[in-house]
Amino acid sequence: MRREITGFSNPLLKEVRGLREKKLRKRAGLFLAEGLRIMTEARDAGFLPEMLFRVKDREVHALEIALEAAVLVAGGDVIETSAEIMAKLSGKDNTQALVGVYRDHATALEDIDRSQAPIWLVAQAMRDPGNLGTMLRTGDAVGAGGLILIDDCTDPFSVEAVRASMGAIFTQKVVQCRWDDFLTWLRKGEGQLVGTSLRTDIDYQSATYAAPCFILTGNEAQGLPADYEDECDLRVKMPMRGKADSLNAAIASAVMAYEVLNQFRRK
């Protein structure tokens, strides 16, 4: 259905803006995505918003017209409003012209088919939504199956993480679980668990990786706990030629993912 919102006091605006808060996202099972590019990526991956908010009275791209048509055919709502109201909805002045409300599509660990992809990314206690979104984007780039979030990570469906993923939140499976549950699940089937660590002499390019390979990256500040490292089938390190003793967590994950991918390509 197509409709219009003209007043700042509209109760739907309050509900949708509330989705910027984690507890309200969890309660509703919904999240926000902003911008035509991300929402087009979502559509191509088979996801359409339940509600599509758009700024009226402006030039419209052909991709937006196609997106609106798909939402209406699927029974969703297209809601037109002003740029001022959209800014209130998004919480920033330089808002996107499109905001979509999507159904949360987190995947349960037991529903993961590890054979579907040769690479899986695993993050432990990841705190920064930008890093988490970047890991999702890296996973999409290397053909990973998804991102498994261990312990207390930042919400992958926050606006910041979704934005940083550049649409990969819709192409990658996202799992949230505890370490013990992940380890139990992993050991029930094939899978090489590889951790980056300073407690090893194995260079990341000299190691041999096996599919499915689960690349484990630790918290941005503390890295992996020692007992988590001990459970890895393989621990590797990257050479640090300067004064820094480690890479950014998302960058380290990307370097590892491409090394594993390149080994598999050579095979």
pLDDT digits (tens, 9 = 90+) for 228-259: 999 999 999 998 888 877 789 999 999 999 99
Q: What is the pLDDT of residue 94?
A: 66
The mean pLDDT of 35-44, rounded to a whole number, is 95
Let me know whether 52 and 81 are in one domain: yes
Please state, as a whole number, how many other Cβ atoms lie within 10 Å of the Cβ of residue 161. 25
CATH number, domain of 25, equals 3.30.1330.30
Let me know whether 6 and 90 are in one domain: yes
Let me know whether 95 and 190 are in one domain: no
Q: Is residue 133 a contact partner of residue 160, using CB atoms and an 8 Å limit?
A: yes
Let me know whether 174 and 223 are in one domain: yes
pLDDT digits (tens, 9 = 90+) for 53-65: 999 988 899 999 9
Instruction: Report d(CA 105, CA 173) in Å as an integer.
Output: 8
Let me know whether 82 and 118 are in one domain: no
The range of the structural domain enclosing residue 25 comes to 2-103
Can you say whether the dihedral through the CA atoms of 140, 143, 149, 150 is positive or negative? Answer: negative
3-state secondary structure of 28: helix
Last-in-domain residue among 40, 73, 103: 103
Last-in-domain residue among 103, 129, 147: 103
Percent of the chain with pLDDT over 70: 99
CATH number, domain of 205, equals 3.40.1280.10
pLDDT digits (tens, 9 = 90+) for 216-227: 999 998 889 999
Let me know whether 87 and 192 are in one domain: no
Q: In the structure encoding, which two tokens stand for residue 158, read together?
A: 């926050």
Q: What is the dihedral of CA 230, 232, 233, 239, to 10 degrees?
A: -100
Instruction: Report d(CA 194, CA 204) in Å as an integer.
Output: 10
Let me know whether 118 and 153 are in one domain: yes
Let me know whether 117 and 88 are in one domain: no
Phi, psi of 173 (to 5 degrees): -70, 140
Q: Is residue 249 a contact partner of residue 215, using CB atoms and an 8 Å limit?
A: no
pLDDT digits (tens, 9 = 90+) for 107-164: 999 999 999 999 999 999 999 999 999 999 999 999 999 999 999 999 999 999 999 9
Q: Is residue 8 a contact partner of residue 82, using CB atoms and an 8 Å limit?
A: no
Last-in-domain residue among 37, 71, 103: 103
pLDDT digits (tens, 9 = 90+) for 82-105: 999 898 887 766 678 899 999 999
Residue 53 CB burial class (10 angstroms; 0-12, 13-18, ≥19): buried
Q: What is the pLDDT of residue 93?
A: 65
Residue 179 CB burial class (10 angstroms; 0-12, 13-18, ≥19): middle
Let me know whether 139 and 164 are in one domain: yes
Q: Which residues pair with 4 in a beta bridge?
A: 80
pTM of the model: 0.92
Residues 6+ apart with CB under 8 A from 59: none
Let me know whether 116 and 235 are in one domain: yes
What is the DSSP secondary-structure string of 202-230? Answer: -BTTTS---SSEEEEE-BTTTBS-HHHHH
Instruction: Report d(CA 145, CA 229) in Å as an integer.
Output: 22
Q: In the structure encoding, which two tokens stand for residue 50, read together?
A: 């339940």
Let me know whether 185 and 222 are in one domain: yes
What is the DSSP secondary-structure string of 154-205? Answer: PPTTSHHHHHHHTTGGGTSEEEEE-HHHHHHHHTTS--EEEEE-SS---BTT
Instruction: Report d(CA 254, CA 240) in Å as an integer.
Output: 16
Let me know whether 76 and 119 are in one domain: no
Q: Which residues pair with 55 in a beta bridge?
A: 81
Which region among 185-189, 195-199, 262-266 has the lowest average model confidence (pLDDT)?
195-199
Total domain count, the chain = 2
